[in-house]
């Protein structure tokens, strides 16, 4: 059954207006056909309109592309998922020598390396930027022992990109073109600003639609989040993951669960190879989201139905917009009820919160958890180090859902965030929030 693209163009415009999104582009593959529509402006200052060929930053959706590149090399017998990173990269090491020896490609691609890795370090525009970045990882500490838990790690994917360079003999950007873009005929997928600027390119805006002061991330974090693309190209890439032989002989392998997520309320219950895995109304959904400086992207794929959806936006209330769009699309296309985001229960759980209070810290973030009136917890994030100026502080008044799960939202937020506390009997306590595990330090 064909989709009504005029209806979806109108729906996209209405949802963007409701969520204060300056501009958005939507593409989806359904029942053998690709559909595209766009709304709004690329830049509120210039008023340049968004077109279906406009390029947006897809942020961490890039990680699925990097994982695919490594899996292509694995299928060629060049490497295995359980090959230690140090066997491939002589320059690789982290602070703990035991972790240096133990970390494998699988750990990188499933965020289970334990590397405390939100290192957004600019090592220049040269072709040696990834090598220099990996060398700079030598001082990174472990959030937890290798393989012991899950914590979203940008640095792990930069290291993965450097492995691709080592195995292919070319820079990551060029390997991306040769391994994925050219075989799939992707003409509107690029990584460097001088290439992106040949097209209509979105700029970022904050949650209230104000222009952000910076355009993009440094080249050195490319494999973790530097791709810019039009929505239809992102959909074409997603389709390749549902089509054996389009890129990978066995793309379904990447959708096999590798780890259960300690906080299952942040976009998925499990993690595969590069993909977040979830189930909506009894249907498997594989996905990845991406956030850069004022831009947001999401890629959803439903293997059972063969449907692939990509939505790209440049500001506003992105999480709210993303959920409402998925709800509308999947209800109409497949009669799937998308689960509602987590929210406070009618009757909050009554628990002793004192043992949750304290300071939790990892690279780039310090989190203060304090007890207030009536036994309520308050959480305040504080960007540190290299993330000062890139991330903002947040304050969440927490409501208990159960003995370890809380929800909270910052002033002005429309969507609740989930916070899960984990007490290890033989180790530190962890706060699982925003996909990261943050250990308690005091």
Query: Six-digit token pair at 243?
Result: 């089509």
Mark 59-74 as b/e (b = at least 16 C-beta within 10 Å).
Answer: bbbbbbbbbbbbbbbb
Looking at residue 355, the DSSP 8-state letter turns out to be G
d(CA 334, CA 260): 27
Q: In whole angstroms, what separates CA 373 from the centre of its chain?
A: 35
Identify whether 378 is a catalytic site residue: no
Half-sphere exposure of 397 (CA within 13 A, CB side): 9
List 358's β-bridge partners, or say none.
369
In the block, residue with structure tokens 């957004």: 120
Measured at the CA of 60, the angle between CA 436 and CA 182, to 5 degrees, comes to 150
The torsion defined by the Cα of 15, 189, 292 and 167, in degrees rounded to 10, comes to: 140
- 169 contacts: CB under 8 Å, gap ≥ 6: none
Q: Which of 19, 25, 54, 60 is catalytic?
A: 60
- 52 contacts: CB under 8 Å, gap ≥ 6: 25, 27, 36, 37, 38, 230, 231, 232
Query: Six-digit token pair at 343?
Result: 């929210």
Sign of the alpha-carbon torsion through 297, 301, 305, 307: positive
Half-sphere exposure of 192 (CA within 13 A, CB side): 12
Query: Six-digit token pair at 21?
Result: 């999104």
- Given a contact cutoff of 8 angstroms between Cβ atoms, the answer to whether 188 and 232 are in contact is yes
d(CA 120, CA 8): 37
| Beta-strand pair 259-260/276-280 | unpaired
- Given a contact cutoff of 8 angstroms between Cβ atoms, the answer to whether 54 and 42 are in contact is yes
Which residue from 229, 226, 253, 227 is spatially nearest to 241, judged by alpha carbons?
253
Which residue from 125, 128, 163, 312 is spatially nearest to 228, judged by alpha carbons?
312
- Given a contact cutoff of 8 angstroms between Cβ atoms, the answer to whether 144 and 179 are in contact is no
d(CA 33, CA 229): 19
Active site residues: 60
């Amino acid at each position: 059954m064909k989709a009504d693209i005029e209806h979806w163009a109108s729906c996209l415009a209405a949802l963007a207006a409701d969520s204060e999104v300056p501009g958005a582009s939507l593409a989806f593959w359904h029942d053998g056909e690709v559909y595209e529509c766009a709304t709004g402006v690329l830049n509120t200052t210039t008023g340049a309109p968004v077109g279906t060929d406009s390029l947006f930053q897809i942020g961490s959706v890039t990680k699925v592309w990097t994982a695919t590149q490594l899996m292509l090399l694995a299928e060629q017998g060049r490497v295995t998922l359980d090959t230690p990173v140090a066997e491939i990269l002589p320059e690789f090491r982290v602070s703990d020598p035991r972790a240096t020896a133990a970390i494998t490609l699988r750990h990188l691609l499933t965020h289970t390396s334990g590397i405390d890795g939100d290192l957004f370090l600019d090592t220049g525009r040269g072709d040696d930027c990834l090598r220099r970045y990996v060398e700079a990882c030598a001082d990174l500490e472990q959030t937890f022992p290798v393989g012991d838990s899950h914590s979203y790690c940008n640095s792990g994917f930069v290291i993965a990109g450097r492995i691709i360079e080592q195995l292919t003999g070319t820079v990551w950007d060029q390997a991306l073109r040769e391994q994925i873009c050219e075989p799939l005929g992707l003409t509107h997928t690029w990584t460097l600003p001088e290439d992106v600027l040949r097209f209509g390119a979105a700029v970022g805006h904050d949650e209230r639609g104000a222009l952000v002061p910076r355009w993009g991330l440094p080249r050195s974090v490319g494999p973790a989040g530097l791709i810019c693309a039009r929505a239809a190209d992102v959909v074409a890439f997603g389709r390749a993951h549902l089509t054996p032989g389009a890129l990978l002989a066995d793309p379904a392998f990447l959708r096999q669960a590798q780890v259960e997520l300690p906080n299952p309320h942040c976009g998925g219950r499990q993690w595969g190879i590069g993909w977040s895995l979830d189930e909506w109304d009894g249907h498997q959904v594989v996905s990845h989201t991406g956030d850069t400086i004022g831009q947001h992207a999401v890629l959803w794929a439903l293997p059972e139905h063969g449907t692939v959806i990509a939505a790209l936006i440049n500001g506003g209330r992105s999480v709210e917009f993303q959920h409402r769009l998925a709800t509308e699309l999947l209800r109409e296309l497949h009669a799937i009820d998308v689960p509602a985001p987590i929210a406070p229960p009618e009757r909050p759980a009554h628990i002793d919160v004192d043992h949750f209070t304290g300071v939790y810290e990892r690279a780039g973030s310090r989190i203060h958890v304090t007890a207030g009136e009536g036994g309520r917890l308050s959480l305040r994030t504080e960007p540190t180090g290299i993330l000062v100026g890139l991330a903002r502080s947040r304050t969440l008044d927490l409501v208990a859902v159960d003995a370890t799960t809380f929800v909270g939202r910052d002033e002005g937020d429309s969507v609740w965030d989930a916070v899960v506390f984990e007490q290890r009997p033989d180790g530190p306590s962890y706060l699982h929030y925003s996909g990261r595990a943050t250990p308690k330090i005091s």
